[in-house]
């Protein structure tokens, strides 16, 4: 795994967590839209309570799955943060943090740090060399 791929795991973990949370949110919305039909003439169940039970069951299963995955992803994020914090040069650490933790584009990093685009790319390359040593 290259240093870029290693560091990109942080953003990938964030995206995966958010996607799972969106799935849970959609299931909850679906559960609130499902209603029962109550009439005095019907003696048999219409099956709508089964639909609600199935949706609630899916939500519970999804939440368990998400919790387990979030734990794994949080560990990945913690490891990436640890590798970035091990970079000795502050400016290099800042570039890595802005890029891989905050998800900023190169142009945004250059403006924020008051550097040229080219200089940010150079600093990033130097930082990746140190990251490579730390993950090997």
pLDDT digits (tens, 9 = 90+) for 76-128: 889 999 999 999 999 999 999 999 999 999 999 999 999 999 999 999 999 99
* Residue 108 burial (CB count, 10 A): 14
Contact 13, 69 (CB under 8 A): no
Q: Minimal CA–CA distance to 130: which of 25, 29, 3?
A: 3
How much is the pLDDT for 7? 92
According to DSSP, residue 88 is labeled: S
pLDDT of residue 58: 79
Which pLDDT tens digit goes with each residue over 18-60? 888 888 888 788 777 755 555 555 555 555 567 777 777 878 8
Nearest to 31 by CA among 65, 62, 66, 68: 62
Instruction: Show me where the domains of the chain are located.
Output: 3-36+48-135
Q: How far apart are CA 47 and CA 60, in angstroms?
A: 20
Contact (Cβ atoms closer than 8 angstroms) between residue 127 and residue 89: yes
Rounded CA separation 6/97 (Å): 13
* Joined tokens for residue 112: 């924020």
């Amino acid at each position: 795994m290259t240093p870029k791929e290693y560091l990109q795991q942080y953003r990938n973990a964030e995206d995966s967590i958010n996607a799972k949370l969106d799935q849970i949110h959609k299931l909850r919305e679906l559960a609130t839209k499902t209603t029962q039909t109550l009439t005095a003439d019907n003696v048999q169940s219409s099956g709508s309570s089964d639909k609600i039970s199935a949706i609630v069951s899916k939500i519970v299963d999804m939440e368990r799955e998400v919790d387990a995955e979030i734990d794994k992803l949080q560990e990945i994020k913690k490891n990436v943060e640890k590798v970035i914090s091990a970079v000795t040069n502050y400016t290099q650490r800042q570039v890595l943090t802005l890029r891989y933790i905050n998800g900023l584009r190169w142009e945004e990093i250059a403006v924020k740090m008051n550097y040229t685009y080219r200089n940010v790319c150079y600093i990033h390359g130097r930082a990746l060399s140190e990251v490579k040593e730390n993950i090997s």
